Structure 1
């Protein structure tokens, strides 16, 4: 199983999606149907789709993973709606307003972990949609999400340095990022006060709509691997993504960009924990970018 997972990651990173789906099919064939959507497991460890066709069926899409995962795979919802008889999306309440314009003809229901919706004719977890639909990122390219723009100074950089407590190795110490504030106006996307020289030292509201407005109004987003990266990428915003040396499957550290989000540029650590080198590269590139804009 571990070898298959490594092969799957390599196939996904290499854009060999048919190979990745074939490997996923092997895993699906080995699963015990009695363990589908197993209530004894945490939601993020469950598998939902049992392989039955989605075409012409009443489909329930469940969002059991993080906000970023939902944003990444929401791109496939219109493709699903075009094939299924009906689609219901059981989505994290914080994302309902953001996703609603994309989900035309889809019933949106807030996901209550204590009281999930009963099964439909076909259930599928949103991160299974590429496999279930045999759809690659290029079949549903960004931008597919949008927002009104916050009014910000020209050249503003939106900055996010925290990825939550569940994986602290993705977080950048904020003091390291102070030099970036010398090259452009900066707004923080963190929902906390900061001592960085930003336009909003009180922090960003803990609200997806307000965050999306700041992303839309900025010229560039600099972020760690968290929901903000997916939000900015889904909006087609130029984004510089700071990555740990062994990043999540969707980012290939030996590449400079992402098939999922063409507007994203990758900045992986050259070695474990070396955020200083990442920030040095970003500062150098930001200084060059600011100079080009000034000459522009």
Structure 2
């Protein structure tokens, strides 16, 4: 957290006639043995003089004799426990002895006895940081700032303490105050930039990174931080240069390699991304983040054998530590016999992942297993009706006792899945007939009209797909955004006003969006799009609604997986760099044969995608 306020010992109340001068003379002449001997003599001559003992202790500290300093200063403190100067010097001696709690207490006493003694407050703050009492630290540094508002060191340390409390906006403001006072302070520039990156504010980080690197161009870590900031700001060419410089300065800089791999991933340099990740893993096979990232990169390229294996490293990532602490049973890897045995399959990640990978559960049942399936509560109603869901629990429930367990996204690895052997190529989930009938009534679908899920499967793929004609206009469900908490949601979601441009008149539209904003609700009403958000309690209800629709048009969200698992015709609108499961360049999906994929050609530009959907909607509404 930058430089320290002066922490040298205080030698107040003494002059060059002090008896301690003889000790100083010996130290300065390079004779510590004589100095220490003279110190013992002074202790014997002035055993009850706290001023002399304080001065002697301070000199011992100054000349790196901490054991002697601590002994003498303890004696001085016993004689004058309310002396703020002695308390500070004792605190410094305790700090050198790594007694940080005791040092904080000593500095606290000094501040209590002399509230305007800023050095006491400052040093107490430092010791509170060392003992991870971060709120106490900020309070102590604030006491300095109140008395010395232009003290750059105090602002710097206060900001550092705020960052340790994860109060990042306040931390950034503190660093900025420090830089107003001392604009060229390298440590503060670095700290400000790093915290700004933690706060997801690359634009705020870049000026400090630029200034810090102008002062110290050899700061390799700063170069990689600037690469990340430029990446997040969309300045990909600048980011590539930054990472190259960082790796020239420090060829083994893993953060730079990892940052460049991510840059190349989002700029669609797939082979460059793979090379960086393979280099990272080759250098350090225990780098779980890089291994898992490499696994996803392989999966995107449909290199399943390598991908599933590398992706297993996700469980070694620190953020995932302890997730399966309660699962003391054996991990099932596909080789163990399951006949008559129980296995716990645990959902992971999002709703869409659970919908996509629950297709493997019937395969476990076929091997003779009794499956206990732990899924998110909103999915329970949908999955509970499946014959292979022997026993369903919530993913937050206590872990039941079973013979084996397996995370859900590890099942493809256990079954040796390849692109050509993806199981359940058609409909593998079912919905409630009662719920479907309820939606049929609500949407005024004539009783004599078969529900879409009851119609004969189309033949010949998408070329023969047409929306039905008859007494009512076809029903199309829409979903334009995903979970705002998802890191990539801003890229994969489409503003409603843009999305509805793809929707021609003459069709009936139903919003499948569960949570809508006030503006979105107004826009839906203006366009005559039915909003049934209040009725979509869970995926069982949403699935039943999907089952009575003729077509679903959605961005990459759980609705896409739900429609695909129900084998409903679904058009999925994908951002330029979509999730791995949609692979590269394909317009179809081996996971969901009923899906048609629409891909962005340029990041952020949805106009060509919307036009393609418009054209295809026109073509499927004018057929037989």
Q: If the TM-score is normalised by the length of the shorter chain, which range does it land in? A: 0.7 to 0.9
Partner of 1:185: 508
Q: In structure 2, the residue corresponding to 1:271 is in which secondary structure?
A: coil
Mapping of 1:126-137 within 5 angstroms?
126-136=408-418
Q: CA deviation at 1:24?
A: 4.8
Contact 2:477-2:553 at 8 Å conserved across structures: yes
CA–CA distance in structure 2, aligned partners of residues 204 and 283 of structure 1: 29
Partner of 1:176: 498
> Relative to structure 1, is the Cα distance of residues 249 and 194 closer, same or farther in structure 2, using a 3 angstrom cutoff?
farther
Contact 2:553-2:570 at 8 Å conserved across structures: yes
Contact 2:573-2:599 at 8 Å conserved across structures: yes
Tell me whether 7-16 or 226-235 shows the greater mean CA deviation. Answer: 7-16
1:65 aligns with 2:349: yes
CA–CA distance in structure 1, aligned partners of residues 367 and 320 of structure 2: 23
1:38 to 306, 321, 325: 321
Partner of 1:117: 399
2:590 to 244, 259, 274: 259
CA–CA distance in structure 2, aligned partners of residues 244 and 213 of structure 1: 28
Runs of 4+ in 1 over 6 A off after TM superposition: none
CA–CA distance in structure 1, aligned partners of residues 607 and 564 of structure 2: 24
Higher RCO (C-alpha under 8 Å, 6+ residues apart): 1
CA–CA distance in structure 1, aligned partners of residues 599 and 401 of structure 2: 41
Q: CA deviation at 1:105?
A: 5.7
Tell me whether 141-150 or 235-244 shows the greater mean CA deviation. Answer: 141-150
Tell me whether 231-240 or 283-292 shows the greater mean CA deviation. Answer: 283-292
Mapping of 1:238-277 within 5 angstroms?
238-277=569-608
Contact 1:54-1:122 at 8 Å conserved across structures: no
Partner of 1:165: 484
Q: CA deviation at 1:90?
A: 1.1
Q: CA deviation at 1:72?
A: 0.2
Q: In structure 1, the residue corresponding to 2:352 is in which secondary structure?
A: helix
Q: How many residues align?
A: 281
> Relative to structure 1, is the Cα distance of residues 181 and 87 closer, same or farther in structure 2, using a 3 angstrom cutoff?
same
CA–CA distance in structure 2, aligned partners of residues 219 and 254 of structure 1: 26
Q: In structure 1, the residue corresponding to 2:621 is in which secondary structure?
A: helix
> Relative to structure 1, is the Cα distance of residues 80 and 278 closer, same or farther in structure 2, using a 3 angstrom cutoff?
same
Q: CA deviation at 1:181?
A: 4.5
Mapping of 1:81-96 within 5 angstroms?
81-96=365-380
Q: CA deviation at 1:94?
A: 1.3
Contact 1:245-1:268 at 8 Å conserved across structures: yes
Q: CA deviation at 1:96?
A: 1.3
Q: CA deviation at 1:235?
A: 0.5
1:102-128: per-residue Cα shift (whole Å, max 9, x none)?
Answer: 34262111222xx54156332211111
CA–CA distance in structure 2, aligned partners of residues 217 and 209 of structure 1: 13
Structure having the higher helix fraction is 2
Q: CA deviation at 1:282?
A: 0.5
Partner of 1:18: 305
> Relative to structure 1, is the Cα distance of residues 202 and 219 closer, same or farther in structure 2, using a 3 angstrom cutoff?
closer
> Relative to structure 1, is the Cα distance of residues 138 and 190 closer, same or farther in structure 2, using a 3 angstrom cutoff?
same
Q: CA deviation at 1:93?
A: 1.5
Mapping of 1:204-283 within 5 angstroms?
205-207=535-537, 208-283=539-614
Q: In structure 2, the residue corresponding to 1:120 is in which secondary structure?
A: coil
2:364 to 70, 74, 80: 80
Contact 1:93-1:111 at 8 Å conserved across structures: yes
Q: CA deviation at 1:5?
A: 5.2
Q: CA deviation at 1:214?
A: 1.8
1:9-33: per-residue Cα shift (whole Å, max 9, x none)?
Answer: 45534544334345457x59x959x
Q: CA deviation at 1:199?
A: 4.3
CA–CA distance in structure 1, aligned partners of residues 294 and 557 of structure 2: 24
Q: Structure 2: which 5+ residue stretches go unaligned?
A: 1-257, 259-276, 279-290, 325-329, 446-471
Structure having the higher strand fraction is 1
Contact 1:183-1:287 at 8 Å conserved across structures: no
- Bigger Rg, structure 1 or 2: 2
Q: In structure 1, the residue corresponding to 2:530 is in which secondary structure?
A: coil
> Relative to structure 1, is the Cα distance of residues 54 and 102 closer, same or farther in structure 2, using a 3 angstrom cutoff?
farther
Partner of 1:200: 530
Contact 1:81-1:106 at 8 Å conserved across structures: no
> Relative to structure 1, is the Cα distance of residues 101 and 154 closer, same or farther in structure 2, using a 3 angstrom cutoff?
farther
Partner of 2:621: 290
Q: Structure 1: which 5+ residue stretches go unaligned?
A: 42-47
